[in-house]
A and B are shown apart, each in its own frame.
Chain A
């Protein structure tokens, strides 16, 4: 899948789950930069990403993610 398309879909998931207004995603953003992305909402987001892209992550893979860029790379690798 095209990287831009993945990025757009991930942005949509974040807006939907975190109820964000005027949110513009940048790939070097970390969870701390996204309002409301905390340990409680994290797994809801990951679960939605898995469903949307039809991929399955491993816990170790997620533990190493440093920013959204790395998440998009991982999705691209798996899909």
Chain B
């Protein structure tokens, strides 16, 4: 069941009503409803996959308790077992095809294709597995106590708003909220609904329209001028951003309806003036997870090597970020490129400059606009690799950009391309303007300080109208739900 379906709307309404009526008595009853409905939500995609989710819940619940119960000398064995099993299960589902293809090609076997293995990637497995790994490491490091209640832990791992594509919640943030009874707060629920509305807007009006422009360009890149390839990369970057940030806004907004705050996952990444700042704003839950559990211990181990140690750690961290997306060389190169982007920043020691968008000025300074454009171009190059079918396509696509045809007018393979591009560009500008105006708020639609109710209602109508009139007729599944 996808977030953008009528079935989900019915499901959400039923759970919401039950949650604040029949099940509102205690934290326990609220968690019973959330756990059961989350397992139903998950099982409706494919009930076989429920076994893997339930295994992950039980395994990590008891592993954390074993870690906490044992002496300091014995703890590492339990942690190691926990890590091996979690990563092993994840790797089996994500990478067996990659290795199968590699081995069969190495041995020159042309037999059964990988598809014949029938290995389906369980929805959200990368997200809930990382959440569980973070939890057992935190217990090992005494950052948190192990959860004593299996019901609470089941809610933490399986909570349906974040199940499909995150955010990857830190245990300390989430468990603290669901261990106590949640009270209905009208302003929190309304804030959530506003955030859902914004999520719908960026997904349906921007992401899906960008996809209709970018996909045909990626599919026909060999025959198109550089200006069109640049246009394709531009819209693809906005597609990925709007798709994932739109999803994240919906997930966070839905969760607010149940009185549970999820962590922010995007914070206007295109206002970043260097790559370090960009990653503090893009897929925040994944990047902060990687920083805490991969970069931090690695750079600690290598700290005596100073900057070279830091550079090595960041490259390894980003290679893993790339691999997390799946077993494709394009993802590995995507991660590697982002890791390499950090080198000049680390060498120049400019990782700590104050963020421009935090300041209260009306417009950014010209030099900051150039820096933002620079980061955008770097992000655009890597997103070509991310979206390409293979490395060869990515290389040819990027090479195709270096041509005098960059000065020609873009040609769209689709006859509606020009009009769609202009309309979508207009909405991208609207989105970026809203992000700039709201840059110091918790999300783009935080309107609680807006006094005029007429203005607020006007904004709701305008967004709804834009969704109905300009939303793409072709709906693309959320990109990150496949990871």
Interface residues of A (CB under 8 A from B): 18-19, 35-44, 46-47, 50, 59-60, 62-64
What residues of B have a CB within 8 angstroms of the CB of A44 in the complex? 306, 310
28 residue pairs of the A-B complex, CB under 8 angstroms, read: A18-B352, A19-B349, A19-B352, A35-B354, A36-B352, A37-B352, A38-B276, A38-B280, A38-B352, A39-B288, A40-B314, A40-B346, A41-B352, A42-B296, A43-B296, A43-B300, A43-B313, A46-B303, A47-B303, A47-B304, A50-B303, A59-B300, A60-B141, A62-B300, A63-B141, A63-B142, A63-B143, A64-B142
Closest 9 CB pairs of A and B: A36-B352, A39-B291, A63-B141, A43-B299, A47-B303, A40-B351, A59-B300, A43-B303, A18-B352
Taken together as a complex, chains A and B put the C-alpha atoms of A64 and B141 apart, in Å, by: 7
Taken together as a complex, chains A and B put the C-alpha atoms of A25 and B300 apart, in Å, by: 24
B353 at the interface (CB under 8 A from A): yes
Is the CB–CB distance between B303 and A41 below 8 Å?
no
What residues of B have a CB within 8 angstroms of the CB of A43 in the complex? 296, 299-300, 303, 310, 313
What residues of A have a CB within 8 angstroms of the CB of B141 in the complex? 59-60, 63-64
Interface string of B290-315 (1 = CB under 8 A from A): 01100111011001101000100110
Main secondary structure of the interface of B (DSSP, over half): helix
Known: A43-B310, A63-B141. A36 touches B304 (CB 8 A): no
Is the CB–CB distance between B300 and A39 below 8 Å?
no
Taken together as a complex, chains A and B put the C-alpha atoms of A63 and B303 apart, in Å, by: 15
CB distance from A34 to the nearest CB of B (A): 10
Closest to B306 in A: A47
Closest to A57 in B: B300
Closest to B305 in A: A47
Q: Of B276, B292, B300, which one neighbours A46 at CB under 8 angstroms?
A: B300
Interface string of B129-152 (1 = CB under 8 A from A): 000000000000111000000000
Taken together as a complex, chains A and B put the C-alpha atoms of A1 and B297 apart, in Å, by: 28
CB distance from B113 to the nearest CB of A (A): 42
Taken together as a complex, chains A and B put the C-alpha atoms of A26 and B160 apart, in Å, by: 42
Closest to A64 in B: B142
What residues of B have a CB within 8 angstroms of the CB of A35 in the complex? 352, 354
Interface string of B250-287 (1 = CB under 8 A from A): 00000000000000000000000000100010000000
- Interface positions, chain B 332-372, Cβ under 8 Å from A, are 346, 349, 351-354
Known: A40-B310, A43-B310, A64-B142. A59 touches B304 (CB 8 A): no
Is the CB–CB distance between B143 and A64 below 8 Å?
yes
CB distance from B445 to the nearest CB of A (A): 25
Known: A63-B141, A64-B142, A64-B143. A41 touches B300 (CB 8 A): no
Taken together as a complex, chains A and B put the C-alpha atoms of A18 and B349 apart, in Å, by: 9
- Told that A38-B352, A39-B296, A43-B300 touch, could you supply 16 new A-B pairs with CB distance under 8 A? A18-B352, A19-B352, A35-B354, A37-B352, A39-B288, A39-B295, A40-B310, A43-B296, A43-B303, A44-B310, A47-B303, A47-B306, A50-B303, A59-B297, A62-B300, A63-B142
What residues of A have a CB within 8 angstroms of the CB of B313 in the complex? 43
CB distance from B479 to the nearest CB of A (A): 26
What residues of B have a CB within 8 angstroms of the CB of A39 in the complex? 288, 291-292, 295-296
What residues of B have a CB within 8 angstroms of the CB of A18 in the complex? 352
CB distance from B26 to the nearest CB of A (A): 31
